[in-house]
Amino acid sequence: MAKRSNEPFLWSLFSGGGMIAAWMFPALLFLLGLAIPLGWLEAPSYENLLALVRYWPVRLILFGLCSLPLFHGAHRFRFTLYDGLQIKHLNELIAVVCYGSAIAGTVLAAYILWNIP
Amino acid sequence: MRQAHFYTLYRPKWYRKRVSTWWWAQQWRSFKFILRELSSLAVGYVGALLLWLLWSLVRGPESYATFLAWLRTPLFIVMSFIAFLFVLYHAITWFNLAPKAMPLRVGGKRLPEWMIAAPNYLVWIVISAAILWLLIGRN
């Protein structure tokens, strides 16, 4: 019998994260990384941003926004190393490091969002 | 999805041509594939930025100001610019792939690809506008 694989589960995280990243990351990065630092637009004030983030629905969305794309990125980067650079002998280590950092990011996101004053 | 293959002991070895590590650099198609896969690093970068932003919000106004000041440094502007191109590339390839990954059939006929891709672009525009309004429009 073929070995049971975790692939389908990981793939659902992968595609969910890919969707979120595709829909939301370009606008977020454009604002945070370019438009605001370069002075094209004014940064939201601390109070406004905090008030926005305090809403529980916003926190839930932010949790998905921080967590799922990390799994997407981890999955993709793992196979970039696997197929692209053909680093196959380190397969286990790479998987642990990639998914491990996604899990760490998820835990961190939960902790931060829970502790918003 | 590509399945991970593992080497097993005691398997007869058949002849395989050795593939160069730089196989993806020899053809435009495969180079684009690797570029798309490398967008994962940009996605990780945005995820890290978001976590950093939220962390600074928890710590207080000075911390938030420091975060904004860091993003104004040339290093971060260059990284954000490169990451933005990659994230954009990810979005476009992702939307264009959607009809191939999940073709819909209506009355036994496959819907044309644009009918599945177009709503994705539409949602993209709506969500981007919402993000702009939420972060900037209420200042």
Residue A73 lies in a domain: yes
Residue A53 lies in a domain: yes
Nearest CB to A29 within list B37, B54, B84: B84
8 Å CB contact of B54 and A33:
no
- What is the mean pLDDT of the segment spanning B124-136? 91
- What is the mean pLDDT of the segment spanning A24-31? 93
Q: What are A78's two structure tokens?
A: 């793992």
How many independent structural domains does chain A possess? Answer: 1
Nearest to B37 by CA among B102, B82, B93: B93
Pairwise CA distance, residues A43 & A46, whole Å: 9
Please report the beta strands in A1-117, taking only residues with DSSP state E, as ranges in sequence order.
Answer: none
Residue A2 lies in a domain: no
Q: What are A37's two structure tokens?
A: 């630092």
8 Å CB contact of A46 and B61:
yes
A52 CB-contact burial (10 Å; exposed 0-12 / middle 13-18 / buried 19+)? middle
Residue B106 β-bridge partners:
B109
Residue A54 lies in a domain: yes
Least CA distance to B96: which residue of chain A?
Answer: A22
Give chain B positions within 8 Å (CB) of A108. 51, 55
8 Å CB contact of A22 and B49:
no
CATH of residue A87's domain is: 1.20.1300.10
Percent of chain A with pLDDT over 70: 96
Q: Name the minimum distance, in Å, from the CA of A1 to any CA of chain B.
A: 15
8 Å CB contact of B88 and A26:
yes
8 Å CB contact of A77 and B135:
no
Residue A55 lies in a domain: yes
Torsion B124-A37-A60-B134 (CA) sign: negative
8 Å CB contact of B80 and A11:
no
Q: Reduced to 3 states, what is the DSSP secondary structure of residue B39?
A: helix
Q: Name the minimum distance, in Å, from the CA of B19 to any CA of chain A.
A: 9
8 Å CB contact of B40 and A27:
no
Residue A3 lies in a domain: no
**Structural domains of chain B in order of their starting residue, each with its CATH number:** 23-102 (1.20.1300.10)
Nearest to A109 by CA among B55, B86, B97: B55
Nearest CB to A76 within list B7, B37, B91: B37
Q: Evaluate whether ipTM surpasses 0.90.
A: no
Consecutive H or E run containing B106: strand B105-106
| Cβ(B2)–Cβ(A83) below 8 Å | yes
Pairwise CA distance, residues A109 & A111, whole Å: 5
Residue A39 lies in a domain: yes
Instruction: Tell me the per-residue pLDDT of B49-92, one tens digit each, with 9 for 90 and over.
Output: 999 999 999 999 999 999 999 999 999 999 999 999 999 999 99
Q: Which of B37, B40, B66, B124 to mutate to test the interface with A (most CBs of A within 10 A)?
A: B40
Pairwise CA distance, residues A114 & B7, whole Å: 44
The residue range of the domain holding A49 is 8-114
Instruction: Tell me the per-residue pLDDT of A73-84, one tens digit each, with 9 for 90 and over.
Output: 888 888 888 877
